[in-house]
Amino acid sequence: MSFIKKNYGWMIVALIGVLPIIPLLNLVTLNFSDGFSINLVEGTAGEGKSSLEMLYHISGEFAIRWMTAVLTCTPFFILFGVNNLFVRQAMGIAAAVWSFIHFIIFIWAEGFAETFTEANYIAGFIAVLILIPLFFTSNRKAMKKLKKNWKKIQTYAYAAIILSLLHVLLLEKTWLIYGIIVGLGFIIRLPFVKNKIFEFRK
């Protein structure tokens, strides 16, 4: 029980992060009869999209949603005084995993060389590269080992979200809501605004 009490926030985030993978599994079949292959199942996606388009859509949407959620943790603490570092780490892991899934689907469909053909693809690729060290250092062991350097590494999350927003913007998708949330988060972090909020909360 003590383990659950200590890690319930992390476990909730992990569950929320895993659940959306279920619809993705309905869009593919795993074939073990002749080696191993993954095949798309057409006619199950709905919304007038092909299975591949739906895979792109779901994985990309959850990647940007989790990254946006991670960057709202500090503004949430400033506004309400509630903070849980390990929950934020779990959210960061979820953001990275969904970004990796999104990128793998892209490589599977288009090939790695296609990554360098358009500016939005390049922005997304760089964001994925940035997320790799963040993913492997989002744990307590890394915090103890890296000490002060741990925070410096984690600040690269800002670059990842900006590149991700650029990636979505260039694809002409619904990026505005994420841009507004991230923008408000940065405004709340400004020392003048943050201090005023702290004074109001006293």
Average pLDDT, 10 consecutive residues per value, the chain (202 residues): 64 80 74 68 60 81 89 85 76 91 88 90 93 88 86 87 85 75 88 86 71
Of the candidates 71, 129, 61, 140, the residue with the CA atom closest to the CA atom of residue 98 = 61
User: How many domains does one find in the chain?
Assistant: 1
Structural domain range at position 67: 2-201
pTM for this predicted structure: 0.83
pLDDT for residue 27: 74
pLDDT for residue 174: 67
β-bridge mates for residue 38, sequence order: 30
pLDDT for residue 103: 93
